[in-house]
Amino acid sequence: MVVRVRAYRFRAYCSNTTARVLKTQLEKACKLYNTLLHAEQEEYEKNKRTMNKTELRQLALDLRKRNTEFQALHSQVAQQVAERFYQARQRFLEGLANKPKKKKPHRYLSLVYPQSGWKLSDVREVGLGKNKKKRRARLYLSKIGFFTLILHRELPLERVSQVCVKLDPSGRIHVIFLVEEAETLGQSSKEPKNAVGVDLGITRLATLSDGRYLENPKPLERSLERIRMLQRTLSRKRFLSNNWLKTKTKLAKEHEHLKDFRRDLFFKLGALLAQEYDLLVLEDLDVQGLIQSGTKKRRLRLHDSSFSELRRILEWEFLKRGKLVLPVPAYNTSRECFLCGGINRNLTLEDRVFHCAHCGFSLDRDLNASLVLLKRAGWVPPAVPAVELHPIPPLPALGLVGRHGGVMRQEAPPFMAG
Ligand SMILES: [Zn+2]
């Protein structure tokens, strides 16, 4: 039996006092992290050795005992800081990451409670109508205080292995429960009847091999524009000054808005595809075609993280329903002709239409790519592809309700007011 760790993430609300306590604790944890980093460096210079996990944890506890400042932290939280430093250093030693650096307080934003120091109580139903399953609960974190959680999904409380409280840069708070679950997702034994190839892109978020596509929605474009503007503003402010921090928070809010909007959209697209198809064919994970020059590069940076998220969400929606996902090599997908397999080397990023010099075939560039993916999955593409493209109508109109019920919520629910 495969056991995997799944994260359950909930929005949390607290009083201003509790929020201030959380912020102070994050500062202390950051300071502790930097102290450990410093101690490790000294140890290395003196004795040419690195400390192991137990030593680091013990050191964190000793520091907490000696220093009243660190006593604000729960002892397990302090050990968890050591654990985090240890993991960062291990990743560096294994060549997977850069050397751990001194952390800046505005970047240290989460605390972890491993087994004890937290308690969930007072779970009650609050949802109405289609939100009927929604419940509210109180979470007590030792040394910090009480939080109100909105439980929008079932939480297997008895299997929670650790609790993490996370302050978003915009000031929102989330609580993440890690739960160890037996892997229940079986691959279906049924032979898949129909397959869809999906090409992910920038101008169009997704182009399906059946000729439909999902445009970059207008709110998303506007959000991207605002982010670019704020980034310019931020670069003119003095680093870590008050105005810099203010702009930084604004920017963080916009980033989060964008992220939520995307997630919501991706889940809806995933649900739509998984309802219609048995097999999903995607490009393999190493993000291709991101080697670009100049201003384009910056534009792409806003997108590339969302590609992997879209992929993850689409995969999840299929696997959840016991359906199949097949990643195929992405190499040259946009340059290959799906009909004859000829390669068009002259195709540039600006070309929206693919012309094949070998067989004379022309087709929309992204549609051709999605058909190539399907072919690489061993699927016989339709003899005559859909030559005309159709936009997917705004997804809520399809009667699909996403995780957020199709409505973005920025403010606290009414029962939290006052
Ligand atoms: Zn051709």
CA angle 117, 118, 120 (to 5 degrees): 160
- Return the DSSP state at 412: P
Q: Which amino acid is at 18?
A: T
- Per DSSP, the residues of 216-263 read --HHHHHHHHHHHHHHHHHHTSPTTSHHHHHHHHHHHHHHHHHHHHHH
What is the 387 CA–ligand 1 centroid distance (Å)? 15
- Per DSSP, the three-state class of 157 is helix
- Contact criterion met (CB below 8 Å) for 354 and 347: yes
What is the 388 CA–ligand 1 centroid distance (Å)? 18
Neighbours of 397 (CB within 10 A): 9
What is the 211 CA–ligand 1 centroid distance (Å)? 19
What is the 343 CA–ligand 1 centroid distance (Å)? 8
What is the 362 CA–ligand 1 centroid distance (Å)? 8
pTM for this predicted structure: 0.72
CA angle 97, 99, 100 (to 5 degrees): 100
pLDDT tens for the chain, 418 residues: list them. Answer: 677 888 899 999 999 999 999 999 999 999 999 999 999 999 999 998 889 999 999 999 999 999 999 999 999 999 999 999 999 999 998 888 888 999 998 889 999 998 889 999 888 888 777 777 788 999 999 999 999 998 988 888 888 999 999 999 888 999 999 998 876 665 555 677 888 999 887 778 888 888 888 887 777 788 888 999 999 999 999 988 999 989 999 999 998 888 888 888 888 899 999 999 999 998 875 544 444 434 444 455 555 567 778 888 898 889 888 888 888 887 778 888 888 888 888 877 777 888 888 888 888 888 888 889 988 888 776 655 556 667 776 665 444 433 443 333 333 333 333 3
Neighbours of ion ligand 1 (CB under 5 A): 337, 339-340, 342, 356, 358-359, 361
Nearest to 381 by CA among 369, 364, 365: 369
- Return the DSSP state at 336: B
